[in-house]
Amino acid sequence: MNLENVKEEVITKELVFEEYPILRSLYGERGAHFKILENIFRVQLTLKGNHVFITGEPIDSELAEKTIEELYFLIKSGYNLYPSDVEYASKIILENPKANLKDIFLDTIFVTSGRKVITPKGVTQKKYIEAIRKSEIVFGIGPAGTGKTYLAVAMAVSFLMKGEINRIILVRPAVEAGEKLGFLPGDITEKVNPYLRPLYDALYDMLSFDKVVRLFQKGAIEIAPLAFMRGRTLNEAFIILDEAQNTTSEQMKMFLTRLGQNSKAVITGDITQIDLPDPKKSGLLEAIEILEGIPGITFVYFTKNDVVRHPIVQKIIEAYENKGKSFNT
């Protein structure tokens, strides 16, 4: 007998909830939330009044039960649940059944101008924002779509709005590591703006357009091309270096030594997307090698499992990883 093909006995569990309106919110429009849970946990969910019936194998049913109960508590606590939240929550429980969704989803980073609440969407994102709160320098390293840059901007805006820092400085190397921007038209701001577009997009998602413009005019938000940061000491600032995999060793050292009093720096990058002529000379790779373990500096590593963009992004990353393995064999 092939034991791998032997399935556990299917069981049905009954959950009873006190507040039906909350349970309906958990059910989702036309059962959209329950459908997500069914697909991820491989169970069947039935809603009857304030009762939920879970049918499936014991382990799957137990994980689904935990997720449903914790999502119910989140809604009861005032959390506005979206289908994407159900998917993130389910993946968190699958990866770590002991995880506490309340500690993750109720950790509000920032409330945007559109009243959208920005919260971590996974265990790694939670570690990331906690590291930013506690450490002077944080490296967020991992693939596209994991929220590294977006959360860094959200934390920076939060710190600025609370008066914990006086300005946000956005830094990004040009695609060319040497930052030869002379061929682009306009002044230095116009030259580097195309490279900073993802940072602007994050700002506009959190603040109104007029608010962002005023903050730039006041100097509370500043763009600082990496090549033009030499000689500066940045006090009372939150500095974000994005796409750090495309810095050279010299540029990374120069950037890190700009940090002044009461400042924080967040460095984000994807070491699988190095555009330097010699990838081995990436300043980010060197920083990982020589700085890890220094008090006040924290490294947070994201994986494809932390992708929070469209689900297809995770599949794309996996496909490229598999292709890379075939090249290396």
Decide: helix, strand or coil at residue 5: helix
Which among 87, 90, 139, 116 is positioned nearest to 266, based on CA atoms?
Answer: 139
Q: Give the distance from CA 124 to its chain's centroid.
A: 8
Alpha-carbon distances, residue 46 vs 26, 93, 169 (angstroms): 12, 21, 51
Q: Same domain, yes or no, for 208 and 270?
A: yes
- Who has greater pLDDT, 322 or 82? 82
Residue 232 has pLDDT above 90, yes or no: no
Give the strands of the sheet with 11-16, arranged side by side: 11-16, 51-56, 44-48
Averaged pLDDT, 241-249: 92
Question: For 186-213, what is each residue's pLDDT tens digit?
Answer: 554 555 566 677 788 888 889 988 999 9
Averaged pLDDT, 219-240: 88
Averaged pLDDT score across all residues of the chain: 86
**pLDDT the model gives residue 324:** 63
Domain final position from 103, 134, 153 = 103
Least confident of 2-11, 103-112, 142-151: 2-11
- Who has greater pLDDT, 291 or 4? 291
Does 207 reside within a domain?
yes
Question: For 32-52, what is each residue's pLDDT tens digit?
Answer: 999 999 999 999 999 999 999
Q: Same domain, yes or no, for 69 and 159?
A: no
Q: Same domain, yes or no, for 171 and 292?
A: yes
What is the CATH classification number for the domain harbouring 226?
A: 3.40.50.300
Global pTM? 0.80
Q: Same domain, yes or no, for 278 and 133?
A: yes
Query: Can you give the residue range of the structural domain that contains 89?
Result: 3-103
Question: For 255-297, what is each residue's pLDDT tens digit?
Answer: 999 999 999 999 999 998 888 888 888 999 999 999 989 999 9
Domain final position from 39, 68, 103 = 103
The band of 1, judged by pLDDT with boundaries at 50, 70 and 90, is very low
Q: Is the alpha carbon torsion for 185, 190, 192, 196 positive or negative?
A: negative
**pLDDT the model gives residue 174:** 67
Task: Provide the residue type at 168 as one letter.
Answer: I
Q: Same domain, yes or no, for 81 and 127?
A: no
Q: What is the C-alpha separation between 297 and 4, in angstroms, rounded? A: 45
Domain final position from 73, 103, 133 = 103
Q: Same domain, yes or no, for 262 and 292?
A: yes
Does 111 reside within a domain?
no
Which among 298, 264, 269 is positioned nearest to 283, based on CA atoms?
Answer: 269
Taking the CB of residue 267, how many other CB atoms lie within 10 A of it?
A: 28
Share of the chain above pLDDT 90, in %: 55
Q: Same domain, yes or no, for 290 and 151?
A: yes
Averaged pLDDT, 110-139: 88
Q: Same domain, yes or no, for 128 and 248?
A: yes
Q: Give the distance from CA 95 to its chain's centroid.
A: 17
**pLDDT the model gives residue 327:** 41
Domain total of the chain: 2
Residue 134 has pLDDT above 90, yes or no: yes
Q: Same domain, yes or no, for 178 and 154?
A: yes
Assigned token pair, 229: 């940061």
